[in-house]
Structure formats: structure tokens, C-alpha cells
A and B are shown apart, each in its own frame.
Chain A
């Protein structure tokens, strides 16, 4: 793959007060996409949302609310692709077992992964040596 145009690496404490910061980075990146021909405002919102949901996921499920723990978010922007990786140090979970939402009986929680999957092109969650990584890809047209 070609070298990335932009790479942003952020490490935050596992605290929800940093969600705004992480989401805002996504919004700003959407505005830097020179060749993107789609709805830029919509993409800005979507990246804000996806980064917010993925980070919440890592904070809540990944680190068992250990206050000294951190979440690492790595964003690579390539010519044709935006790649987001969110690393956590928790027990992890199986992406395949997360059910699709029941739209007729909506629940108050559990929509995060559904939103990420709906808005992005590829979502995987894998175990690495000492952490888990949620990898999200959006192809840019």
C-alpha cells in the first residue's frame, strides 16, 4: 500500500471526557480529503461518530475501567482509504456474536457496533500479542 498521506496517533486515558477530542479529529480529517466527491458534511459527522463509538467501546469493554489504562487510536489516511485502529487491553469480545438491533423493540444500548458497521466498509476485531484491535476501513471515492 502507498504511504499514508496523514497519520494521526493519539493515546488517551480511559475517560469519556476525551471523546469530543477524538471525534473532532475525525471531523477535521474529513475536511482535508481533497479528492472526496461525496457529501463532506455527512462524512465529517460519520467519522466523528465512528471514532466516538469505537473509543467508548474500548473504554467500556476493553480496560475494565482501570483508571491508569489508556486507549490508543491510530488513524491513517491513504489516497483511496481511511484506516482507523483502536487498541484496547481488555478481555476482548467476539464481533460475530453481537446481534443486529431489533428495530421494532429498540434497546437503550448496544447500537454502537451497528452504527460503525452501517457507516464504514469493513470492521474487524482481532487479538494481537498484548492487546485487541478494532480496525475500521472506509474506502474514499
Chain B
């Protein structure tokens, strides 16, 4: 392999640093957008659909959006899990959705839907990073 080509490959793995960063940030803001930037349309659509449906179902079933508070450990962990959904979380928080009703029949399920939506989006961001770095297809 020519030396210049080898150096270029080491300096710019996969999609390039700027594109990798942009894709990860985009994925953190809107689920699936990072894959769309990398032209992985099928994954982008499924990730956006699944994570958005899970989050909205959680809100519809009387789930609670946790405020970002630096108090005890569990509220912080809940906040991190929910904020993983990106813009979905912040729009819900700012619009006052997700007040939560602990007496509701589906309250626990709803919270699990919201937490898991955020946690899945974190995995999706790691997947975007791996694709952008050419570690997987």
C-alpha cells in the first residue's frame, strides 16, 4: 500500500472526524438522524419510529418526565435515562407534558417506556459512532 494512502486512512477513519461528530450529535438530538446523515436510511427510519413511539406511548400512559435536579442518586439516573431521547425529552419538559399520575394503572409501564426509549437512543448513538468509524457496516 502506498505510504500516502496509508497515512490518509489513519488520519481520517471512516466518515471523517467532523462527520462522525456531527452524526453522533444529530443522533443525540433526534433519534435516527445520525444514521440518516450516514445514509443508513432503513435503520434511521426504524430507530426514529421505535424510539419516538415508545416515548410518546410513555407520555400517553401517564408517565412522568423527571426534572433535571441534582439531589439523590435515583432522580439523576432517571433524568439521564430520559434525557437520552434528546429533543423529545426537552420538548416534553418545556411544554409541561408528562406530569405523571402515580395512581394510574399504567404508571410504572409508562415510566419504563420513557426510560428505555432514552437508553435505546444511547445505544443507537454508539452504533452511529461505530458505523462512522468503519467498525461495522
**Are A and B co-members of a single complex?**
no
Task: Give chain B's interface residues, CB within 8 Å of chain A.
Answer: none
